Amino acid sequence: MQSINDVSQALLAQVVTSDTPRDILKSSEIKDLYNQIAQLDPSERGAYGKQVNTLKLNLMSAIEVREAELDNATVTPIDISAPWDVNSRPLGLLPTTYGSEHPLMKELSVVIDIFTRMGFAAIESRQIDDDFHMFGALNFPENHPARDGYDTFRTEENFIPPAHTSTMQHRILKDGKARLEAGGQIAAVSYGRVFRNEDVDATHEHTFYQCEGVFVSETATLGDMLGTLRAFFESYYGQALKIKTQPAYFPFVEPGLEFAIERPAALGGKPGEWLEMLGCGMIHPNVLLAAGIDPTQYQGFAWGGGIERLVMLKYGIEDLRHFESGKLQFLRKFV
């Protein structure tokens, strides 16, 4: 028969290295100690029982110490050089081997492709800009309330993450001035990310995409603009469309219009269901003048609208927030 002392020492030694120290309380050694009580002379049982209890108490405190130690144990650091198969399919999901282009980027390419085939140059817009390009060059007077409509963010240095791609108009005009004066035209679209200080909901995002168009020549008319926009939308949706416009105020165009299309039946629309797609108009003489272009000799049109809206209509996406959500379930529908 092992002495209680021997058993105690052996079990305490096990506790300090065990990953499951509490199991030791149920070990056969402990059971044996209890079983031995029955074999003892009744006069010895009291003292023996006390010793066994003391052993258990000691064991308990050692177990608690060990458990705390296991809890605090530092996790083995990840070996980033280990040959993980990052493309494995642990959840039986679709393979992620190649990733995929974001639906907005895919559709943006389609949009740019249509305009470049129509003869427009395409340039990406900036993601940080200044007050002059956001407002001044676009005929927004200082302190004019129209500025408030754009919910602009500003950095501490007073730079502006642009709230519309119209910030590119002045650059496009200046860049094209020489070509125009040599008998050519200015025809460019600018596309990219824009930012507004808005509460996010199903139809508003703080970050979204726009595409802006600028055309200037000696003879450009509003009719040319409507024809250009109709051709674009019909090409993008692959079908004939009904269009309409209504007057709208934008300081950088005169007249200014909102351009709407009737939601096609093929895309779940009912007759008379108009969707406003973009703002447009004839470029204001002050905007041409700011770029050094003579408004008595040249005239042009411009338009600008959101990319998300186009894509949502095309694919029946009901919530704008899906685009920036990073949800694979959504993104995989466009692979």
Q: Which of 211, 261, 280, 287 binds ligand DAH (CB under 6 A)?
A: 280
Question: Per CB under 6 A, does 66 bind ligand DAH?
Answer: no
Choose one: 7-15, 94-102, 170-178, 302-310; the region binding ligand DAH (CB under 6 A).
Answer: 302-310
- Reduced to 3 states (helix: H, G, I; strand: E, B; else coil), residue 269 is coil
Q: Using alpha carbons, list the distances in angstroms from residue 130 to 20, 142, 197.
A: 63, 14, 16
Question: Per CB under 6 A, does 250 bind ligand DAH?
Answer: yes
Question: Per CB under 6 A, does 161 bind ligand DAH?
Answer: no
Q: Which of 166, 228, 245, 299 binds ligand DAH (CB under 6 A)?
A: 166
**Site size toward ligand DAH, by CB under 6 A:** 12
Question: Per CB under 6 A, does 304 bind ligand DAH?
Answer: yes
Amino acid at 181: E
Task: Show the tokens assigned to 128.
Answer: 């940080």
CB-based contact 236:110 (threshold 8 Å): yes
Binding residues among 80-119 for ligand DAH as defined by CB under 6 A:
none
Nearest one of 257, 143, 151, 229 to 194, comparing CA atoms: 151
Look at strands 121-124 and 253-262 and give their pairing.
Answer: unpaired
CB-based contact 287:252 (threshold 8 Å): yes
Q: Which of 21, 161, 281, 300 binds ligand DAH (CB under 6 A)?
A: 281
Residue 210 Cβ, how far from ligand DAH at the closest point, in Å?
6
Choose one: 1-9, 91-99, 116-124, 275-283; the region binding ligand DAH (CB under 6 A).
Answer: 275-283
Residue 256 Cβ, how far from ligand DAH at the closest point, in Å?
6
| In the chain, beta strands by DSSP E | 121-124, 186-195, 207-217, 243-247, 253-262, 274-283, 299-306
User: Which parts of this chain interact with ligand DAH (CB under 6 A)?
Assistant: 164, 166, 212, 250, 253, 256, 279-281, 302-304
